[in-house]
Amino acid sequence: MRNPGALLRDGHQIQLLQGGEEYFPALIAAIDQARSEVRLETYIFDCTGVGAEVAEALERAARRGVTVWLVVDGVGTGALPPSWQRRFDAAGVQWRVYSPLGALGLLIPSRWRRLHRKLCVVDGRLAFCGGINILDDYHDPNHGQLARPRLDFAVRASGALVQQAQETTAQLWWRIQAVRNVRQHNFPQAFSSFRAGGLHLPWTGPEPAPGRGHLWVAKAGLLLRDNLLHRSQIEKAYRRAIAGARQEIIIANAYFVPGRKLRKALIHAARRGVKVRLLLQGRYEYFMQFHATRPVYGALMAAGVEIHEYTASFLHAKVAVIDAQGERPWATVGSSNIDPLSMLLAREANVVVQDAHFAAVLRERLMHAIRHDSRPVAASEYANRPLYQRLLERMALGLMRLALFITGKRY
């Protein structure tokens, strides 16, 4: 496997986007300006609030002759609402569901491999990548209306990484199409789709983007996680960056259950004097992910790692910034949680940026969240947590380990 650092190239324009307030206007504007094609992948596509505005932008693009490909996940989204299926079909939006559950649902372990990445490529010149689903910031499908928006991030990028994003979205589309053709016994077309899925698309060059927001010419790259060629690329990039940290590590992650190697890397960094801060989920969202996180707190805090739980709303970010004020700043924004479901099973995408300005802005946003919207976890509080809470933690961690055992994975 290639060295993750070797994937980074100079000459990217990168804009940090925080939450739907910054992300959706930029995404919709890019779709409205598309001239030839839009490729969009997302785990959740919820047509509530601003989600409907994105759907309308895709519809407008298709009606004016832009080729629009949309892929949604079979668990995160399921089937699109029938009204939107009809509207997309009438406009010419081509849409597919990645790994539909079928009658047995998640009882089949192979269906635990989900499309969790959030990628959009416009005209082969501009890419969006991050943790933000097509989901209104103030709406949660499970918890209803939110008083405060989720904390999440994405990036808008032009440069060489766009070609990689274009290739991976195109390959996934044609592989889904090939499977569909096989199920329909259309084997010649299936063969053509598999061949198309291996094509390398030409890069058409950077997008001139003087628009609003923070834009810099930076070294950056796209890291992917799948079940074929890139099984551990994102985790290795994290471990390499943590091992090279000299001053500070800040990680904000919604579902944080790091494997042994990543835990050891954080502990070693803290013990050699690096300031390590973790911003983690402070509000209950899902049983397994919420409770399985807590058992790792003890060893990390014993080594001097600070843990803060975000309480203002749901934390959905999957970002990190290392040595933002040092000689070799490193930052990542993407879809990958630091838990076995993301690291071992899901298709994920993270953008890595080596740039002082970008790292400084991301650090400022995270420090604001830590200081104003979070609570620190005290070692004494953790040590004295009640027995029932410890039992829930062990149960959740046991379920996660059982899931890994069933899939034959080690973490």
3-state SS class at 278? strand
Tell me if residue 323 is catalytic: yes
Q: Where are the beta strands (DSSP E) in 169-247?
A: 215-225
C-alpha span between 352 and 118 (Å, rounded) = 15
Terminal Cα distance for the chain, rounded: 19
Among 123, 137, 226, 355, the active-site one is: 123
| Coil/strand/helix, residue 1 | coil
Confirm whether 236 is a catalytic residue.
no
Catalytic residue among 12, 318, 339, 355: 318
Please give the distance of CA 306 from its chain centroid, rounded to a whole number.
24
Coil/strand/helix, residue 101: coil
| Catalytic residue of the set 12, 46, 73, 116 | 116
Instruction: Give 389: exposed, middle or buried? Use CB within 10 Å, 0-12, 13-18, 19+.
Output: exposed
Helix spans in 206-259 (H):
233-243
Of 118, 139, 230, 308, the catalytic one is 118
Please tell me whether residue 182 adopts helix, strand or coil conformation: helix
Closest CA to 245 of 326, 301, 317: 326
d(CA 135, CA 200): 31
Measured between alpha carbons, how far is 279 from 395 in angstroms, rounded to an integer?
Answer: 23
CA distance 250 to 332: 11
C-beta separation of 127 from 31 below 8 A:
no
Can 291 be counted among the known catalytic residues?
no
Catalytic member of 46, 323, 339, 355: 323
Which H or E run contains 178? helix 161-183
Active site residue 46: no
Active site residue 123: yes
Distance CA 395, CA 390 (A): 9
Given the structure tokens 């895709």, which residue do they identify? 58
What residues does 156 pair with on adjacent strands? 15, 128
Selected catalytic residue, list 226, 308, 316, 339: 316
DSSP code for 124: T
State how far the Cα of 156 lies from the Cα of 165, in Å rounded to an integer.
Answer: 12
- Residue 35, SS3 per DSSP: coil
Based on the residue annotation, tell me whether 261 is a catalytic residue of this protein: no
Residues carrying an active site annotation: 116, 118, 123, 316, 318, 323
